[in-house]
Chain A
Amino acid sequence: MDALLAQVFTGISAGAVLLLIALGLTLTFGQMGVINMAHGEFIMAGAYTAYVVSTIVASTELSLLIALPAGFVIGGLLGLALEASVLRWMYARPLDTLLVTYGVGLVLQQVARDIFGAPAKEVPAPGWLDGSIPILGYDFPLTRLFIIVLAGLCVAALLAVLRFTALGREIRATVGNRDLAETIGISTRRTDQATFFIGSGLAGVAGVALTLLGSTGPNLGTSYIVQAFLVVVVGGIGHLKGTIVAALGIGLLQAFLAHALTGSVAQVIVFLAIVAFLQLRPQGILSVRTRSLA
């Protein structure tokens, strides 16, 4: 029973990390069809933000709380810069954005390597996240619990923004029908920029959170980005609910398989499971009835 509970917890916490990363991706993918491979580097930027804040702010208690919004802003600004400089010219050929943003990601990685050096940096976790709390006889590490809560808060905040604010209405309108949204006076350009800011900002937040789990290096993002894209694909592009289910599902599946087999075999099986799943539902968990002619 203990082992089962431990696996469920590991799975949910891995799923929460995936969810944090995939939230921003599904947002930009869904609205603009942009496949942002530099998303991984925005995560890295968030993680380095946490590192920089931790060197400035002496109190580890405070630095995490400062780093979270700072990471959001840094990630968001990077995303905004990417959108304004490159992506705005490429909305007509979404598939090509993948390689362009990959190139941007390469440059950002090297920038990080030049500024911070190749060796990984450690960010001290705040004291109030030390240790664990026992639930049902199993000790839950507080850092992982914090990430689960953080992912939940981000989802709630995003849903609230989408549902209750003027910006959220504009985003939903643009996703639904771009041309019609424009005819009723929504600036889809501005909406795109706002979406990109939020999506990339969430990557920054994810980066700050990842510093709690391990060290920060220039390649931090690349190790997560492939899986995050799988989450988006399985969840169904542009569907938040699907993304949540997919992230938790993949996290749980991986945790259980890794427990039963080895980690590397588990990853391969998860991939094959995803191919098989797409056989059943090619458009993801929340399927889209398509009349696409292209």
Chain B
Amino acid sequence: MKSRFLRRELPLAAVFLLITALLLNFVSDVLRPAHTDYGSTWSAFRAEPEDSLDVIYLGSSYAYCDFNPSIVYDSSGLTGYVMAGSEQTLSITYWYLKEAFQTQSPSAVVLEATSLFFAQYQNYTQLNIDLMPFSPNKLGAIFTAAEPDLRTGLLFDLWFYHGRWPEIRPADIKRALFPIQRDYLKGFTAIDEVKEGVGVEPYVADREVSDEDYAANLSWLRKILDLCEEHGATPIITFNPTYTRCTQETYERIGQEILALDENVIFCNWSEMFEEIGLVPTAHLYDGGHLNQDGAAVFSAWLGEFLSEEVGLVPREQAADNTAHWQESAQWWKDYLAQ
């Protein structure tokens, strides 16, 4: 009995479990909603050729609304990708960057730092972590950056999505069989709107964050900076042009605290630099905080020049097909924005 079990049944049981795991993974892929913008766009990110990105943009919605990598490329030749997420905490950002370094070796990491003001857990942990590819980094995010009550679902995401079965269409099965290919968004989210009354007067007030959360955020930022150093990427920490801003004293204090963590950080407070960049608040802001797609285009073109001329980043050599792809992407955006 024992030898029959060991020789025959045990290997077959392992095969059964393996097939079951693969089927479960497939069913998860089918039932998981498609996600191509508003951050956490891991599927399209993984379709980028290895070591082809010059810059990784990180942060929260301020990153995915403000940085348009295709426009940056158009103005500088620097390839890049926004790996941000809605209200993404720095703890999740750390695991994002660590995962991004698995396939990319960017020369610079641009981090929009509004998340320094976030609480330990914000509103979109599920979305931000769940879409990460399954890896030790995802496990790290689940166990260090997610609310404990979300962990079951993050480990087994049918927990969140299995109820979508009545909505399944052939396109969902196709998407699971053939994961999303590269797109022209590059993690950017285009918003074609200016909310009423936006851009008239900036709202200036310091964001509220507890001392404990702020200290924890600084500690995660330190880990991000260490990661950048380990991988030889220049860390650039920014506060993007916004009409929902803190006082300049606060930005200065934060700048000093960040430089105290790592003196090689390039700290950029662009919160008030609308005129210098060429942004018109009443036309280029979506709401009080984020830029719209036109604002993002202006800002990203300026950013490209900043990264090449001020920071001194040099575009890496790309394969011909990848160069063609980036040129197409830049052209697509120019055509789209010109409409």
Indicate, yes or no, whether A interacts with B. Answer: no
Measured CB to CB, the residues of B under 8 A from A are none
